[in-house]
Amino acid sequence: MTRPLVAVDARSPERVLLALRAALAGGPAVAPRTDDVVPADLPTTVPLPVALVIETSGSSGRPKRVALGTDALLAGAAAADGALGGPGQWLLALPAHYVAGTNVLVRSIAAGTEPELLAPGHFDAATFARAAARLTHPVRYTSLVPAQLVTALDAAEHDEGVAAALRGFTAVLVGGQATPASVVDRARASGVPLVRTYGSSETGGGCVYDGRPVGQARVAVVGGQVELSGPSLAEGYLDDEARTAAAFVERDGRRWYRTGDAGTVSDEGLLTVTGRLDDVVVSGGEKVSLGAVERVVRELPGWAGAVVVRSTHERWGEVPVVVRAGEGPDGGTLAELRAAVVAEAGRGAAPDRVVVVERLPLLPSGKPDRLALERLVAP
């Protein structure tokens, strides 16, 4: 059996909210879009379990359409409520075509509360604080990406309204990409009830909070790769059986999603993600993890939003290159950057150079477009 699939303009979060309400009640499935152009290859119907289709991009840059079922969406909402402070009211600060944004809306629908909706576009901390002040439920949540959190923390240093708004949430979820430990420490020292989340569109968004799976989610590391299981997993990729078969596997009576991330699980069950499996370069004969370099760089003051990508090099073969938005560093700062990386990751990991761009190119998921950045830094 099938159901209709409708494209919804995510530039209007209100429209996505209404469409998701209908989808969860058995109406047409929803495909949030960021423009008025509906792709010719977007199906008009989907299998009946599917309620939401999130379009994202992988390392190849080829679009993927992640199909999430009604039960998966509601299971993710229930797991979040159980891991946090129960059902509550949400403030949407993320685009409504991100899985984290649609999760805010789904959790609001499941809780029977009306979310506060920020207009998409530039994140303004003062506007965020005013929206937070309009929340009326005693249990209050929001979800941010690291760049938004840093913006809010910077504003909170001189604006008590922003500081109070951040402290007033039951939980502030942060995810979408790795959050530097220095930012986490800064937030918690400021009284922000921060929760680091890990997951993807394929897992219905974050299903690991502060390193621990929530609800019925499970985590395993197989051959060095992080795999996730649980009732919030997607049905697969719409009209792409080959990709679905490669990413979702059956093992021990459970269905698992292969994340492509490298990681470890401690004896206490705590997950640590160490980077992407495909981010290793060989520089001067040494294997270098770009993720490891990026983590060191992002811990340095002023570098929280930096991205590390590969570039070819005539002498060393491949080298790490740091890309950042805004003003560039002087030579001394670059020397200090290299020294910090070498101390943590070895001499071969030293960044070759820093490239400054006005704005980092992003994927539809909101993550840095690393392929575009690699083309930009190519010699």
pLDDT tens-place string over residues 52-103: 999 986 544 567 999 999 999 999 999 999 999 999 999 999 999 999 999 9
| pLDDT of 57 | 63
Q: Do domains 2-271 and 279-377 have the same CATH topology?
A: no
| pLDDT of 281 | 85
Pick the CATH number of 2-271 from 3.30.2270.10, 3.40.50.12780, 3.40.50.1100, 3.40.1190.20: 3.40.50.12780
Residues near 74 by beta carbon (within 8 Å), at least 6 away in sequence: 24, 106, 110
Residues 256-293 pLDDT 10s = 999 999 899 999 999 998 878 888 888 877 888 898 89
Task: Locate the domains of the chain by residue range.
Answer: 2-271, 279-377
| pLDDT of 376 | 92
| pLDDT of 177 | 64
| pLDDT of 139 | 98
Residue stretches of the chain with pLDDT short of 50: 59-60, 330-332
Cα–Cα distances in angstroms (integers) from residue 188 to residues 123, 257, 292, in the given order? 21, 31, 24
- Residue range 279-377 forms a domain whose CATH class is alpha beta
Q: What is the distance between the alpha carbons of residues 205 and 202, in angstroms, rounded to a whole number?
A: 7
| pLDDT of 59 | 44
DSSP states along 288-309: EEHHHHHHHHHHSTT-TT-EEE
